[in-house]
Amino acid sequence: MSLPAPLPIEVRPRELEERGPEARGRPSLISKFRRDRVAMGALVLLVLMIAVCVAAPLTAPYSPYATDPAHVLESPFSPGHLLGTDGEGRDILSRLIWGGRTSLLTGVSPVAIGLLVGGLLGMVAGYYGGIIKTSIMRVMDVLLAFPAVLLAIAIAMTLGPGTAHVIIALSVVLVPGVARIAETASTTACSQEYMEAARASGARGWSIMRLQLSRNVASPPLAYSFSTIGPVIVFAAGLNYLGLGVQPPAAEWGSMLYNLQQSLLEVPLTSMMPGFPIAIAALLFDLIGNAVRDVLDPRQV
């Protein structure tokens, strides 16, 4: 029977790292989050919202495309239409539920993509330093030189209509911010002593970089990205409002708001309906984001 292989190099540096919070008797991240009641409430509501939208075929009373010329621009609480109807007689509640899938997707995917791509770029830049870092970060600087809204509009327009293009545009806008944060965190982590020890013991690049996926390096970009979800949802709906994303008659919160604006004088409450889910979703993500940030990066009182 052969001897077990020696422990891989990457295990040793981990021992040098502080032991996890559980070992020290401090509450784990999840339980700390659980204690924030506001955040937990927000999480519950958000999950509810997402569930309703995902289960659109079951939850929406009507098809989002079903027009009804006899019941155009009904106010909320009219019979059969809880939130009223739009200019074509389509049920607003159903369109909000169906549209929510697009709106939420367009809000969350760019953040996820931005986190992955930006985080990776930042880590690579921070770890390798030198010319790799300079070139990557210079490109990020150039992207950050554009006002975010303009860049997104320009990219989305260039690529053409469609949700995918909006997602791409927003991702491009988000990547540099995340990359900067990740680079700072990575550079700091690389200068820590245990990194020197790992390098001196011959560990290869990949194992060291995996080591970097510890709380110290992953937390700042994660906390930052989370805090951008709310604004990105608003931003994405805004781009749709301008006509850059979904095309009629597809349902989406932002484009619905644009369509209904022309009937603002006649039926103000109905016309403002699509704004509510945007604001609510953004607020919920904001509350949760605060709690996430407090957990990952607490300030010492």
Partner 1 sequence: MTAYVSRRLLQLIPVLLGVTVVVFILIHLIPGDPTISLLGENATIAQRAALRHTLGLDQPLPVQYLRWLWQTVHLNLGMSISEQRPVIDLVWAAFVNTMILAGCAALIAAVVGTLLGVVAAVRQGGIADRIAMALAALGTAIPGYWLGLILIVAFAIDNHLLPSSGETTPVGGGGVSDVLAHLILPAIAASAAPTGIVARTVRASLLDIMRLDFVVGLRSLGLKEHAIVRKHVARNALPGIITVFGLQAGYLLGGVAFVEVVFAWPGVGNLLFLSIGDRDYPVVLGITLFVSVAFVFINLAVDLLHAALDPRVRAAVTAGRTKG
For the segment 161-220, give every residue that binds partner 1 (CB under 8 A): 180, 183
CA 17, CA 175: separation in Å to the nearest integer? 29
Contacts of 244 by beta carbon, 8 Å cutoff, 6+ apart:
153, 156, 157, 161, 165, 166, 169
Task: Encode burial over 8-24: b for 16+ CB neighbours within 10 A, e otherwise.
Answer: eebeebeeeeeeeeeee
**Structure token digits, residue 104:** 């939420």
Position 261 contacts partner 1 (CB under 8 A): yes
290: Cα separation from own chain's centroid: 14
Position 100 contacts partner 1 (CB under 8 A): no
> CB 2: neighbour CB atoms within 10 A?
4
Position 158 contacts partner 1 (CB under 8 A): yes
Q: How many residues of this chain interact with partner 1, rule: CB under 8 A?
A: 47
Determine which residue in the list 5, 30, 70, 265 makes contact with partner 1, applying CB under 8 A.
265
Position 135 contacts partner 1 (CB under 8 A): no
Q: What does 66-109 look like in DSSP terms, one character per residue? A: ---GGGTTPPTTBTTBTT-B-TTS-BHHHHHHHHHHHHHHHHHH
Helices (H), 205-261: 205-212, 215-241, 253-261
Position 43 contacts partner 1 (CB under 8 A): no
**Structure token digits, residue 271:** 């016309």
Position 142 contacts partner 1 (CB under 8 A): yes
Position 139 contacts partner 1 (CB under 8 A): yes
Determine which residue in the list 243, 250, 263, 294 makes contact with partner 1, applying CB under 8 A.
243
Fill in the DSSP letter of residue 118. H
Position 143 contacts partner 1 (CB under 8 A): yes
Position 226 contacts partner 1 (CB under 8 A): no
Position 248 contacts partner 1 (CB under 8 A): no
Q: How far is the CB of 145 from partner 1 (least distance, A)?
A: 5
Q: Do 170 and 152 touch, CB atoms closer than 8 A?
A: yes
Position 82 contacts partner 1 (CB under 8 A): no
91 - beta bridge partners? 85
Position 287 contacts partner 1 (CB under 8 A): yes
Q: Do 293 and 228 touch, CB atoms closer than 8 A?
A: no
Q: Which stretch binds partner 1 (CB under 8 A): 59-67, 154-162, 186-194, 203-211?
A: 154-162
Q: Which phi and psi angles does 85 have, rounded to 5°?
A: -130, 165
Position 150 contacts partner 1 (CB under 8 A): yes
Which residue lies nearer to partner 1 by CB, 1 or 265?
265
Q: Which stretch binds partner 1 (CB under 8 A): 7-15, 151-159, 203-211, 217-225?
A: 151-159
Position 105 contacts partner 1 (CB under 8 A): no
Position 271 contacts partner 1 (CB under 8 A): yes
Position 224 contacts partner 1 (CB under 8 A): no
Interface positions with partner 1 (CB under 8 A): 137-143, 145-151, 153-155, 157-160, 180, 183, 230-231, 234, 237-238, 241-244, 257, 261, 264-265, 268, 271-272, 275, 278-280, 282-283, 286-287
